[in-house]
Structure 1
Amino acid sequence: MKQNKQFFISKPLKSQTHAWNPSTGRNHKGRITAWHRGGGHARLYRNIDLKRKLTQGIVVGLEYDPNRSAFLARIFNPDTKEHSYIIAPTKLQKGDIIRSNSKRNGVQNGHSKALRHILTDSLVYNLSLLPGENGKILRAPGSFGRVLKRTSTLTKIRLKSGQFRWFNIETMATYGTVSNPNARFVKLKKAGQSRWLGRRPIVRGVAMNPVDHPHGGGEGKTSGGRPSVTPWAKPTKGPSTRRFRIQPKPNVKI
Protein backbone atom coordinates (compact mmCIF):
# COMPACT_ATOMS: atom_id res chain seq x y z
CA MET A 1 0.00 0.00 0.00
CA LYS A 2 2.83 2.44 0.79
CA GLN A 3 4.37 1.78 -2.61
CA ASN A 4 1.11 2.44 -4.42
CA LYS A 5 0.67 5.86 -2.79
CA GLN A 6 3.65 7.11 -4.76
CA PHE A 7 1.79 7.04 -8.08
CA PHE A 8 -1.84 7.70 -7.14
CA ILE A 9 -3.71 9.96 -9.57
CA SER A 10 -6.23 12.36 -8.04
CA LYS A 11 -8.42 13.34 -11.02
CA PRO A 12 -10.17 10.86 -13.35
CA LEU A 13 -10.10 10.97 -17.14
CA LYS A 14 -12.91 13.07 -18.60
CA SER A 15 -13.04 10.91 -21.72
CA GLN A 16 -13.65 7.76 -19.63
CA THR A 17 -16.26 9.11 -17.19
CA HIS A 18 -19.95 9.89 -17.44
CA ALA A 19 -22.81 10.83 -15.12
CA TRP A 20 -24.22 8.13 -12.89
CA ASN A 21 -27.81 8.17 -11.63
CA PRO A 22 -28.07 5.95 -8.55
CA SER A 23 -31.20 3.85 -8.22
CA THR A 24 -31.53 4.50 -4.45
CA GLY A 25 -32.55 0.86 -4.06
CA ARG A 26 -35.59 1.02 -6.37
CA ASN A 27 -36.43 -1.25 -9.29
CA HIS A 28 -37.92 -0.28 -12.67
CA LYS A 29 -41.36 0.04 -11.06
CA GLY A 30 -40.16 2.53 -8.46
CA ARG A 31 -40.53 0.09 -5.59
CA ILE A 32 -37.79 -0.23 -3.00
CA THR A 33 -36.09 -3.61 -3.30
CA ALA A 34 -32.81 -2.76 -1.51
CA TRP A 35 -33.48 -0.90 1.72
CA HIS A 36 -31.41 1.80 3.43
CA ARG A 37 -29.92 3.30 0.28
CA GLY A 38 -30.10 6.84 -1.00
CA GLY A 39 -28.49 10.24 -0.83
CA GLY A 40 -24.72 10.19 -0.84
CA HIS A 41 -22.17 12.25 -2.69
CA ALA A 42 -22.43 12.70 -6.46
CA ARG A 43 -20.36 10.18 -8.40
CA LEU A 44 -18.95 9.84 -11.86
CA TYR A 45 -18.87 6.37 -13.37
CA ARG A 46 -15.56 5.21 -14.86
CA ASN A 47 -15.67 3.16 -18.04
CA ILE A 48 -13.71 0.05 -17.15
CA ASP A 49 -12.57 -2.64 -19.55
CA LEU A 50 -14.06 -5.76 -17.93
CA LYS A 51 -13.87 -7.91 -21.05
CA ARG A 52 -10.07 -7.44 -21.14
CA LYS A 53 -9.73 -8.20 -24.86
CA LEU A 54 -8.27 -4.93 -26.19
CA THR A 55 -6.66 -2.92 -23.38
CA GLN A 56 -2.87 -2.96 -23.43
CA GLY A 57 -0.14 -0.46 -22.73
CA ILE A 58 1.86 1.05 -19.88
CA VAL A 59 0.60 1.59 -16.32
CA VAL A 60 0.43 5.33 -15.61
CA GLY A 61 -0.88 5.10 -12.05
CA LEU A 62 -3.66 4.02 -9.71
CA GLU A 63 -6.96 5.81 -9.09
CA TYR A 64 -9.67 5.70 -6.46
CA ASP A 65 -13.08 4.61 -7.72
CA PRO A 66 -16.16 5.73 -5.71
CA ASN A 67 -18.24 2.93 -7.25
CA ARG A 68 -16.12 0.06 -5.89
CA SER A 69 -13.65 -0.68 -3.11
CA ALA A 70 -10.86 -1.87 -5.40
CA PHE A 71 -8.48 0.55 -7.12
CA LEU A 72 -8.33 1.24 -10.84
CA ALA A 73 -5.20 1.24 -12.97
CA ARG A 74 -4.89 3.83 -15.75
CA ILE A 75 -3.33 2.32 -18.86
CA PHE A 76 -1.79 4.38 -21.68
CA ASN A 77 -1.44 2.80 -25.11
CA PRO A 78 1.47 4.49 -26.97
CA ASP A 79 0.25 3.13 -30.31
CA THR A 80 -3.28 4.58 -30.21
CA LYS A 81 -2.46 7.45 -27.79
CA GLU A 82 -5.49 6.51 -25.69
CA HIS A 83 -6.05 5.91 -21.98
CA SER A 84 -8.24 3.23 -20.44
CA TYR A 85 -9.09 1.73 -17.05
CA ILE A 86 -8.77 -1.80 -15.66
CA ILE A 87 -9.31 -3.20 -12.16
CA ALA A 88 -5.86 -3.01 -10.62
CA PRO A 89 -4.18 -6.10 -9.18
CA THR A 90 -1.93 -6.03 -6.14
CA LYS A 91 1.81 -5.33 -6.50
CA LEU A 92 1.22 -3.33 -9.68
CA GLN A 93 4.00 -0.81 -10.34
CA LYS A 94 4.20 2.33 -12.43
CA GLY A 95 5.66 1.52 -15.85
CA ASP A 96 4.50 -2.11 -15.90
CA ILE A 97 3.31 -3.48 -19.24
CA ILE A 98 -0.30 -4.69 -19.44
CA ARG A 99 -1.50 -7.00 -22.21
CA SER A 100 -4.97 -8.32 -22.94
CA ASN A 101 -6.01 -11.56 -24.61
CA SER A 102 -2.41 -12.68 -24.58
CA LYS A 103 -1.41 -16.18 -25.68
CA ARG A 104 2.13 -16.11 -24.34
CA ASN A 105 3.24 -18.53 -21.64
CA GLY A 106 4.18 -17.43 -18.17
CA VAL A 107 2.48 -15.63 -15.28
CA GLN A 108 2.39 -11.84 -15.70
CA ASN A 109 0.58 -9.76 -13.08
CA GLY A 110 -2.44 -8.00 -14.62
CA HIS A 111 -2.30 -9.78 -17.99
CA SER A 112 -5.56 -11.29 -19.22
CA LYS A 113 -5.83 -14.59 -21.04
CA ALA A 114 -8.36 -17.22 -21.96
CA LEU A 115 -8.44 -20.04 -19.43
CA ARG A 116 -7.00 -22.24 -22.17
CA HIS A 117 -3.67 -20.39 -21.88
CA ILE A 118 -3.59 -19.95 -18.07
CA LEU A 119 -1.36 -22.30 -16.13
CA THR A 120 -2.86 -24.53 -13.46
CA ASP A 121 -2.46 -23.45 -9.82
CA SER A 122 -2.43 -19.79 -10.95
CA LEU A 123 -4.35 -17.03 -9.15
CA VAL A 124 -6.89 -15.16 -11.31
CA TYR A 125 -9.54 -12.46 -10.91
CA ASN A 126 -12.12 -10.58 -13.03
CA LEU A 127 -13.55 -13.85 -14.32
CA SER A 128 -16.46 -13.83 -16.77
CA LEU A 129 -19.19 -16.44 -16.64
CA LEU A 130 -19.31 -17.06 -20.38
CA PRO A 131 -16.91 -16.33 -23.26
CA GLY A 132 -17.23 -12.77 -24.58
CA GLU A 133 -18.99 -11.36 -21.50
CA ASN A 134 -17.75 -8.83 -18.95
CA GLY A 135 -15.88 -10.11 -15.93
CA LYS A 136 -18.55 -10.48 -13.22
CA ILE A 137 -17.00 -12.47 -10.38
CA LEU A 138 -13.80 -12.18 -8.33
CA ARG A 139 -13.81 -8.37 -8.51
CA ALA A 140 -13.98 -7.48 -4.79
CA PRO A 141 -10.83 -6.25 -2.98
CA GLY A 142 -8.45 -9.09 -2.24
CA SER A 143 -10.45 -11.61 -4.27
CA PHE A 144 -8.84 -14.32 -6.35
CA GLY A 145 -9.60 -17.77 -7.70
CA ARG A 146 -7.24 -20.68 -8.17
CA VAL A 147 -7.10 -22.69 -11.40
CA LEU A 148 -7.17 -26.34 -10.35
CA LYS A 149 -7.82 -28.47 -13.40
CA ARG A 150 -8.25 -28.15 -17.14
CA THR A 151 -9.82 -30.46 -19.70
CA SER A 152 -10.24 -30.08 -23.44
CA THR A 153 -13.38 -27.93 -23.01
CA LEU A 154 -13.64 -26.85 -19.35
CA THR A 155 -11.56 -25.41 -16.50
CA LYS A 156 -12.17 -26.04 -12.81
CA ILE A 157 -11.64 -23.02 -10.52
CA ARG A 158 -11.89 -22.70 -6.75
CA LEU A 159 -13.54 -19.38 -5.94
CA LYS A 160 -12.91 -17.16 -2.92
CA SER A 161 -16.00 -18.61 -1.19
CA GLY A 162 -14.50 -22.11 -1.41
CA GLN A 163 -16.94 -23.16 -4.13
CA PHE A 164 -15.65 -25.20 -7.06
CA ARG A 165 -17.04 -24.27 -10.47
CA TRP A 166 -16.41 -25.30 -14.06
CA PHE A 167 -15.95 -22.61 -16.72
CA ASN A 168 -15.66 -22.69 -20.47
CA ILE A 169 -12.04 -22.92 -21.51
CA GLU A 170 -12.44 -19.82 -23.73
CA THR A 171 -13.55 -17.66 -20.79
CA MET A 172 -11.31 -14.66 -20.06
CA ALA A 173 -9.58 -14.15 -16.70
CA THR A 174 -6.77 -11.94 -15.38
CA TYR A 175 -3.65 -13.02 -13.52
CA GLY A 176 -3.27 -11.76 -9.96
CA THR A 177 -5.28 -10.68 -6.92
CA VAL A 178 -7.60 -7.67 -6.75
CA SER A 179 -5.99 -4.60 -5.18
CA ASN A 180 -6.80 -2.91 -1.85
CA PRO A 181 -7.25 -6.11 0.22
CA ASN A 182 -7.43 -4.06 3.45
CA ALA A 183 -10.63 -2.27 2.42
CA ARG A 184 -12.70 -4.35 4.87
CA PHE A 185 -10.71 -2.97 7.81
CA VAL A 186 -11.65 0.68 7.14
CA LYS A 187 -13.57 2.23 10.03
CA LEU A 188 -15.96 5.13 9.51
CA LYS A 189 -15.13 8.21 11.58
CA LYS A 190 -18.67 9.47 12.08
CA ALA A 191 -22.28 8.77 11.11
CA GLY A 192 -22.16 11.39 8.36
CA GLN A 193 -19.47 9.44 6.56
CA SER A 194 -21.95 6.60 6.13
CA ARG A 195 -24.42 9.04 4.59
CA TRP A 196 -21.75 10.25 2.14
CA LEU A 197 -21.50 6.66 0.92
CA GLY A 198 -25.25 6.53 0.27
CA ARG A 199 -26.20 4.41 3.28
CA ARG A 200 -29.32 5.47 5.18
CA PRO A 201 -30.08 4.65 8.83
CA ILE A 202 -31.51 1.26 9.80
CA VAL A 203 -34.49 1.35 12.19
CA ARG A 204 -35.39 -1.55 14.51
CA GLY A 205 -38.74 -3.21 14.00
CA VAL A 206 -39.71 -2.83 17.69
CA ALA A 207 -39.39 0.96 17.30
CA MET A 208 -41.99 1.05 14.50
CA ASN A 209 -45.78 1.07 14.46
CA PRO A 210 -47.75 -2.14 13.86
CA VAL A 211 -48.59 -1.00 10.33
CA ASP A 212 -44.87 -0.87 9.45
CA HIS A 213 -43.49 -4.04 11.05
CA PRO A 214 -44.80 -7.15 12.87
CA HIS A 215 -42.60 -6.25 15.86
CA GLY A 216 -44.08 -2.76 16.12
CA GLY A 217 -46.63 -1.37 18.54
CA GLY A 218 -47.29 -2.22 22.15
CA GLU A 219 -47.54 -0.14 25.28
CA GLY A 220 -44.18 1.11 26.47
CA LYS A 221 -40.95 -0.66 25.61
CA THR A 222 -41.49 -4.18 24.28
CA SER A 223 -39.26 -6.87 22.84
CA GLY A 224 -41.56 -7.66 19.93
CA GLY A 225 -43.81 -10.17 21.65
CA ARG A 226 -43.09 -12.91 19.12
CA PRO A 227 -40.12 -14.73 17.56
CA SER A 228 -38.03 -12.52 15.30
CA VAL A 229 -39.49 -12.14 11.82
CA THR A 230 -38.90 -10.05 8.72
CA PRO A 231 -41.19 -7.16 7.74
CA TRP A 232 -43.16 -9.79 5.77
CA ALA A 233 -43.54 -12.05 8.83
CA LYS A 234 -41.05 -14.72 7.69
CA PRO A 235 -38.97 -16.25 10.51
CA THR A 236 -35.40 -14.96 10.68
CA LYS A 237 -33.90 -17.50 13.11
CA GLY A 238 -34.76 -20.71 11.37
CA PRO A 239 -33.53 -22.64 8.36
CA SER A 240 -31.90 -20.84 5.46
CA THR A 241 -34.25 -19.25 2.93
CA ARG A 242 -31.60 -18.88 0.23
CA ARG A 243 -32.31 -20.57 -3.07
CA PHE A 244 -29.32 -22.36 -4.53
CA ARG A 245 -29.14 -22.85 -8.26
CA ILE A 246 -28.11 -26.43 -8.95
CA GLN A 247 -25.35 -26.39 -11.55
CA PRO A 248 -25.57 -29.33 -13.96
CA LYS A 249 -22.59 -31.62 -14.03
CA PRO A 250 -20.55 -31.01 -17.19
CA ASN A 251 -19.58 -33.72 -19.58
CA VAL A 252 -15.90 -33.80 -18.74
CA LYS A 253 -13.66 -35.01 -21.53
CA ILE A 254 -10.15 -35.77 -20.43
Structure 2
Amino acid sequence: GKCRVLDIVHDPLHTAPLARLRLESGGDAWAIANEGLHVGAVIESGVDASIKIGNTLPIGNIPEGTTIFNVEKNPGDGGKFARSGGNNALVVSHGSDKTVIRLPSGNLISLDNKCRATMGVIAGGGRSDKPFVKAGKRWHAQKSRATNYPKVSGVAKNPVDHPHGGGAHQHVGKPATVSRHAPPGKKVGSIAARRTGGK
Protein backbone atom coordinates (compact mmCIF):
# COMPACT_ATOMS: atom_id res chain seq x y z
CA GLY A 1 0.00 0.00 0.00
CA LYS A 2 0.88 3.70 -0.05
CA CYS A 3 1.93 5.82 2.90
CA ARG A 4 2.86 9.47 3.40
CA VAL A 5 5.95 10.73 5.28
CA LEU A 6 4.78 12.79 8.28
CA ASP A 7 8.15 13.51 9.86
CA ILE A 8 11.83 12.58 9.77
CA VAL A 9 13.34 12.25 13.23
CA HIS A 10 16.68 11.53 14.88
CA ASP A 11 16.72 8.50 17.16
CA PRO A 12 19.74 8.25 19.52
CA LEU A 13 19.60 4.47 19.18
CA HIS A 14 20.07 4.47 15.40
CA THR A 15 22.84 5.76 13.12
CA ALA A 16 20.22 6.57 10.47
CA PRO A 17 17.25 8.97 10.68
CA LEU A 18 13.80 7.40 10.94
CA ALA A 19 10.69 8.37 8.97
CA ARG A 20 7.25 8.42 10.60
CA LEU A 21 4.68 7.23 8.10
CA ARG A 22 0.90 7.63 7.89
CA LEU A 23 -0.63 4.46 6.45
CA GLU A 24 -3.67 4.34 4.17
CA SER A 25 -5.54 2.61 7.00
CA GLY A 26 -4.93 5.68 9.20
CA GLY A 27 -2.33 4.13 11.49
CA ASP A 28 1.29 5.21 11.91
CA ALA A 29 4.46 3.23 11.20
CA TRP A 30 8.21 3.82 11.31
CA ALA A 31 10.76 3.15 8.58
CA ILE A 32 14.46 3.80 7.99
CA ALA A 33 14.75 7.02 5.96
CA ASN A 34 16.55 6.90 2.63
CA GLU A 35 18.63 9.68 1.07
CA GLY A 36 16.37 12.21 -0.62
CA LEU A 37 13.26 11.40 1.43
CA HIS A 38 11.27 14.45 2.52
CA VAL A 39 8.18 15.26 4.55
CA GLY A 40 5.08 14.84 2.41
CA ALA A 41 6.64 12.24 0.11
CA VAL A 42 4.47 9.24 -0.79
CA ILE A 43 6.15 5.84 -0.73
CA GLU A 44 4.75 2.44 -1.65
CA SER A 45 5.31 -1.08 -0.42
CA GLY A 46 4.14 -4.43 -1.69
CA VAL A 47 4.39 -6.73 -4.69
CA ASP A 48 2.81 -4.16 -7.02
CA ALA A 49 4.86 -1.16 -5.79
CA SER A 50 6.48 0.89 -8.56
CA ILE A 51 10.25 0.80 -9.19
CA LYS A 52 11.15 4.02 -7.40
CA ILE A 53 13.68 5.13 -4.76
CA GLY A 54 12.19 4.68 -1.28
CA ASN A 55 9.68 1.99 -2.25
CA THR A 56 9.74 -1.45 -0.62
CA LEU A 57 9.14 -4.52 -2.75
CA PRO A 58 10.32 -8.14 -3.15
CA ILE A 59 13.94 -8.34 -4.36
CA GLY A 60 12.80 -10.59 -7.22
CA ASN A 61 10.98 -7.56 -8.68
CA ILE A 62 13.90 -5.11 -8.30
CA PRO A 63 16.11 -4.65 -11.41
CA GLU A 64 19.71 -5.87 -11.35
CA GLY A 65 22.26 -3.19 -10.43
CA THR A 66 19.83 -1.37 -8.10
CA THR A 67 21.04 -0.19 -4.67
CA ILE A 68 18.82 -1.42 -1.84
CA PHE A 69 18.79 -1.44 1.96
CA ASN A 70 16.99 -3.04 4.91
CA VAL A 71 17.07 -6.40 3.14
CA GLU A 72 15.17 -9.35 4.61
CA LYS A 73 17.01 -12.61 5.28
CA ASN A 74 13.79 -14.63 5.27
CA PRO A 75 10.50 -13.43 3.74
CA GLY A 76 8.54 -11.37 6.27
CA ASP A 77 11.26 -10.95 8.94
CA GLY A 78 11.28 -7.13 8.60
CA GLY A 79 14.85 -6.65 7.35
CA LYS A 80 18.25 -7.84 8.60
CA PHE A 81 20.95 -6.55 6.20
CA ALA A 82 22.23 -3.03 5.35
CA ARG A 83 20.40 -1.05 8.04
CA SER A 84 22.96 1.48 9.36
CA GLY A 85 23.41 5.09 8.22
CA GLY A 86 24.78 5.55 4.69
CA ASN A 87 24.77 1.83 3.94
CA ASN A 88 23.35 -0.05 0.98
CA ALA A 89 23.41 -3.46 -0.68
CA LEU A 90 23.27 -4.22 -4.41
CA VAL A 91 21.08 -6.52 -6.50
CA VAL A 92 23.58 -8.56 -8.54
CA SER A 93 21.52 -11.17 -10.41
CA HIS A 94 18.19 -13.00 -10.47
CA GLY A 95 17.46 -16.71 -10.65
CA SER A 96 14.18 -18.60 -10.91
CA ASP A 97 13.56 -18.47 -7.15
CA LYS A 98 16.70 -16.80 -5.70
CA THR A 99 18.36 -13.40 -6.04
CA VAL A 100 22.08 -12.73 -5.45
CA ILE A 101 22.77 -9.66 -3.28
CA ARG A 102 26.10 -7.96 -2.58
CA LEU A 103 26.18 -6.88 1.08
CA PRO A 104 28.02 -3.76 2.36
CA SER A 105 30.87 -6.08 3.45
CA GLY A 106 31.32 -7.20 -0.16
CA ASN A 107 30.01 -10.70 0.52
CA LEU A 108 27.56 -12.20 -1.96
CA ILE A 109 24.51 -14.01 -0.60
CA SER A 110 21.61 -15.75 -2.29
CA LEU A 111 18.16 -14.87 -0.94
CA ASP A 112 14.58 -15.90 -1.67
CA ASN A 113 12.95 -13.75 -4.37
CA LYS A 114 10.09 -13.01 -1.94
CA CYS A 115 12.44 -11.29 0.57
CA ARG A 116 11.63 -7.58 0.60
CA ALA A 117 14.03 -4.63 0.48
CA THR A 118 13.78 -0.86 0.14
CA MET A 119 15.28 0.80 -2.92
CA GLY A 120 17.94 3.49 -2.45
CA VAL A 121 20.66 4.36 0.06
CA ILE A 122 20.10 4.94 3.77
CA ALA A 123 20.34 8.56 4.91
CA GLY A 124 22.96 9.61 7.46
CA GLY A 125 25.99 8.73 5.35
CA GLY A 126 29.41 10.24 6.17
CA ARG A 127 28.75 10.05 9.90
CA SER A 128 32.11 8.41 10.59
CA ASP A 129 34.10 10.86 8.39
CA LYS A 130 34.16 13.59 11.03
CA PRO A 131 36.82 12.95 13.71
CA PHE A 132 35.84 12.77 17.36
CA VAL A 133 38.66 15.28 18.23
CA LYS A 134 38.30 14.75 21.99
CA ALA A 135 38.59 11.50 23.92
CA GLY A 136 35.59 12.56 25.99
CA LYS A 137 33.39 12.68 22.89
CA ARG A 138 34.42 9.15 21.96
CA TRP A 139 33.86 8.08 25.57
CA HIS A 140 30.27 9.31 25.44
CA ALA A 141 29.74 7.58 22.08
CA GLN A 142 31.14 4.27 23.36
CA LYS A 143 29.28 4.56 26.67
CA SER A 144 25.99 4.01 24.84
CA ARG A 145 27.31 0.79 23.32
CA ALA A 146 28.36 -2.44 24.98
CA THR A 147 32.07 -1.93 24.23
CA ASN A 148 35.26 -2.02 26.27
CA TYR A 149 36.51 1.57 26.16
CA PRO A 150 39.12 2.84 26.77
CA LYS A 151 41.00 -0.38 26.00
CA VAL A 152 44.18 -0.52 28.07
CA SER A 153 47.00 -2.65 26.64
CA GLY A 154 48.37 -5.59 28.61
CA VAL A 155 51.94 -4.21 28.94
CA ALA A 156 50.57 -1.04 30.56
CA LYS A 157 49.00 -3.03 33.42
CA ASN A 158 50.40 -4.46 36.65
CA PRO A 159 51.52 -8.11 36.78
CA VAL A 160 48.50 -8.98 38.92
CA ASP A 161 46.17 -7.77 36.15
CA HIS A 162 47.71 -9.27 32.99
CA PRO A 163 50.41 -11.77 31.91
CA HIS A 164 52.21 -8.95 30.05
CA GLY A 165 52.06 -6.51 32.97
CA GLY A 166 54.78 -5.15 35.23
CA GLY A 167 58.41 -4.17 34.70
CA ALA A 168 60.35 -0.93 34.87
CA HIS A 169 59.46 -0.19 31.26
CA GLN A 170 56.70 -1.49 29.02
CA HIS A 171 57.79 -4.76 27.44
CA VAL A 172 56.15 -8.17 27.18
CA GLY A 173 59.20 -9.97 28.64
CA LYS A 174 58.23 -13.38 27.28
CA PRO A 175 57.12 -14.75 23.91
CA ALA A 176 53.69 -13.34 23.07
CA THR A 177 52.82 -16.52 21.15
CA VAL A 178 50.80 -18.83 23.36
CA SER A 179 49.63 -22.41 22.96
CA ARG A 180 46.16 -23.22 21.68
CA HIS A 181 45.80 -25.37 24.82
CA ALA A 182 46.84 -22.70 27.32
CA PRO A 183 44.47 -22.31 30.26
CA PRO A 184 42.10 -19.32 30.45
CA GLY A 185 43.95 -16.33 31.85
CA LYS A 186 47.20 -17.26 30.16
CA LYS A 187 45.66 -17.14 26.69
CA VAL A 188 46.66 -13.59 25.70
CA GLY A 189 48.79 -12.27 22.87
CA SER A 190 49.19 -14.19 19.61
CA ILE A 191 47.13 -17.33 20.20
CA ALA A 192 48.45 -20.41 18.36
CA ALA A 193 50.19 -18.16 15.80
CA ARG A 194 51.73 -20.02 12.86
CA ARG A 195 54.06 -17.09 12.29
CA THR A 196 54.51 -13.52 13.53
CA GLY A 197 56.30 -10.39 12.37
CA GLY A 198 56.50 -9.38 8.72
CA LYS A 199 53.53 -9.50 6.42
> RMSD across aligned C-alpha pairs, in angstroms?
2.5
Given the alignment, which residue of 54, 60, 70 partners 1:116?
A: 60
Q: 2 CA distance for matches of 1:74 and 1:62?
A: 6
TM-score (norm 2): 0.80
Alignment equivalent of 1:233, drawn from 188, 191, 194? 188
| Structure 2: gaps (5+ residues) | 179-184, 195-199
- For residue 40 of structure 2, the aligned residue among 90, 95, 109 is 95
1:228 CA displacement: 4.8
Mapped to 2, the partners of 1:141 and 1:158 lie a distance apart of 17
Deviation string 1:16-61 (CA, Å, 9 cap, x unpaired) is: xxxxxxxxxxxxxxxxxxxxxxxxxxxxxxxxxxxxxx7x521123
Q: Which runs of 5+ in 1 are unaligned?
A: 1-53, 240-254
> Residues 228, 140 of structure 1: CA spacing in aligned structure 2 closer, same or farther, 3 A cutoff?
farther
Give the direction of change, closer, same or farther, for the CA distance of 1:112–1:189 in structure 2 (3 Å limit): same
Q: Do the aligned partners of residues 96 and 193 (structure 1) sit closer, same or farther apart at CA in structure 2, a change above 3 Å counting?
A: same
Helix, strand or coil at the partner of 1:182: coil
Q: Which amino acid aligns with 1:71?
A: P
The residue correspondences of 1:14-163 to structure 2 (distance < 5 A) are: 56-77=2-23, 79-80=25-26, 82-106=27-51, 108-163=52-107
- Kept in 2, the 8 Å contact 1:89–1:110? The answer is yes
Percent of aligned positions that are identical: 29
1:201 equivalent to 2:150? Answer yes
Task: Give the TM-score, by structure 1 length.
Answer: 0.64
How many corresponding residue pairs?
182
1:189 deviation in Å?
A: 4.5
> Per the alignment, do residues 206 and 87 of structure 1 end up closer, same or farther by CA in structure 2, a change over 3 Å counting?
same
Structure 2 distance, partners of 1:211, 1:177, is 50
For the residues of structure 2 that align with 1:229 and 1:128, how far apart are their CA atoms? 42
Supply the AA of the counterpart residue of 1:210. P
Larger Rg: 2
Shift of 1:74: 1.6
* Deviating 4+ runs (over 4 angstroms): 227-231, 236-239
